[in-house]
A and B are shown apart, each in its own frame.
Chain A
Amino acid sequence: MNNQYYNPEDLKKFGNISDFQKNLGEKFFAYYGEVFKDSELSAREKSLIALAVAHAVQCPYCIDAYSSDAFEKGWSEGQMMEAVHVACAIRGGASLVHGVQMMNKVKEIAM
């Protein structure tokens, strides 16, 4: 077993996922490739969305991959950080909006 859960070298082995389940792995990578193609949204726009989502799901592999990819596709440092703030705002907001539930409960039981 590795001495750490996240090893940067493992990102290069992502494609090997199909070794244990060929059919589903291949279907996933075909779908993945299709998702990131230029379409209604450009590949460049999708890269920035992926960067924000990578931060929301806190995936170090995805952060590595899409920091490079978004920069390569021409997004500036400032734009990339704004995308991270969007992820942060949604995550923060998602916690905070549950405060309404807390308020509802407290109001229900309080005198």
Chain B
Amino acid sequence: MKSLKAQHSFLAEAHQQLEIIEHGQSGDFALVPFQQKLEQSGLYPLTPTQVEIFQVNIGKMCNQTCRHCHVDAGPDRNEIMTRETMQQCINVLQKNPQLKVVDLTGGAPEMNPNFRWFVEALKKLHKQVIVRCNLTIILANKKYYDLPEFYKMHDIEVVSSLPFYTQDRTDRQRGNGVFDDSIKALQMLNKVGYGMEGTGLILNLVYNPAGAFLPPSQLSLQKEYKLSLIRQYGIEFNNLFAITNLPISRFLDYLLQSGNYESYMEKLVNAYNPVAAANVMCRNTISIGWDGYLYDCDFNQMLELKLSGESKHIKDFDIAALNKRNIIIGQHCYGCTAGAGSSCGGSVT
């Protein structure tokens, strides 16, 4: 499977996605504007609580081409962060101790040739570093086989996608063979202590619905995952994050192709939860793109909705200005406020 960009799909263009998200495919699909919902909840304009999490997307290159990917990542994407931009990130983190957590994402962040250098530099600043590892990268090439050891050496928190504890649902979303490789990679992570009691090495898993529906209760699902993975494969992990798919990029493509777009959006709107809206991740996170531009979240990044205000690029990073900004919202934001809410750390209520 190729990325939408390599397929020359119209959905590879952010403005085309935004047009559909705001007005539907026919142009006259009208839902309650997200802004109106926020106004009713007393949350508009949406502003940060305080920026604490520095999420860096270090590239769109990935060894997988998942059907739900909002980044449109894949082996054919070559947009990756340069060492110079990484150094600018390090400079910002050094100057801003309130940015305690650095969350590295992609694509497969490990495919960036400067990934290990960047991680080591971040740890020298004593930051809590999270790596969003797709698991299969560990087995993709022998140069990655030692990643579990590398993560352990630097006390990295690993967050890994495993959309389900059965093969069929996982492979449907992430590609044939992904489940088996993910299980092997999880066993390798367990072997060095990740997810094991008493080691302090954190291994969290991510659930994404494999279709046009919302995640079930995170806690119930975590019980099912734990029971199934330990029984069948002897795998242990810490927490499960249940994440809602947002109607962006390849998941938007899936929704349109399967005829589920309008009903999915209605489902998100009907499930709007004001408590979740108050806790959305963009209120304490700043997202940095591979080219150094700043965004409210990884989703706004993929929709190319650059920050409002003067501080738009890592070279102009100004924490005081960022804490005072208005967060850019759109109809896609319903994905983070539906049901129990959704963030990179799972449900928010």
Q: Which residue of B lies closest to A42 (CB)?
A: B220
CB distance from A109 to the nearest CB of B (A): 56
- Is A26 an interface position by the 8 A CB rule? no
CB distance from B270 to the nearest CB of A (A): 8
A68 to B211, CA, bound (A): 10
Q: Are B217 and A74 in contact (CB under 8 A)?
A: no
- Is B216 an interface position by the 8 A CB rule? yes
Q: For chains A and B in complex, what number of residue pairs have CB atoms within 8 angstroms?
A: 26
Q: Are A72 and B220 in contact (CB under 8 A)?
A: no
Please pick, from A71, A72, A74, A76, the residue contacting B224 in the complex, using a CB distance under 8 A.
A74
Give the secondary structure class of B's interface.
loop
A44 to B220, CA, bound (A): 8
A89 to B166, CA, bound (A): 28
Query: Contacts A76-B166, A76-B168 known; A71 to B211 CB distance under 8 Å?
Result: yes
Q: Are A44 and B224 in contact (CB under 8 A)?
A: yes
A38 to B217, CA, bound (A): 10
Q: Which residue of B lies closest to A73 (CB)?
A: B216
Q: Are A44 and B216 in contact (CB under 8 A)?
A: yes
- Is A43 an interface position by the 8 A CB rule? yes
CB distance from A77 to the nearest CB of B (A): 8
- Is B139 an interface position by the 8 A CB rule? no
Q: Are A72 and B216 in contact (CB under 8 A)?
A: yes
The B144-194 residues at the A interface (CB cut-off 8 A) are 164, 166, 168-169
Return the CB mask of A64-86 against B: 1 if under 8 Å, else 0.
00001001111010000000000
9 A–B pairs (Cβ distance < 8 Å), ordered by A: A38-B217, A38-B220, A44-B216, A44-B220, A44-B224, A72-B215, A73-B216, A74-B216, A74-B221
Further contacts, 8 of them, CB under 8 A, given A44-B216, A71-B213: A43-B217, A43-B220, A44-B224, A72-B209, A73-B216, A76-B166, A76-B168, A76-B169
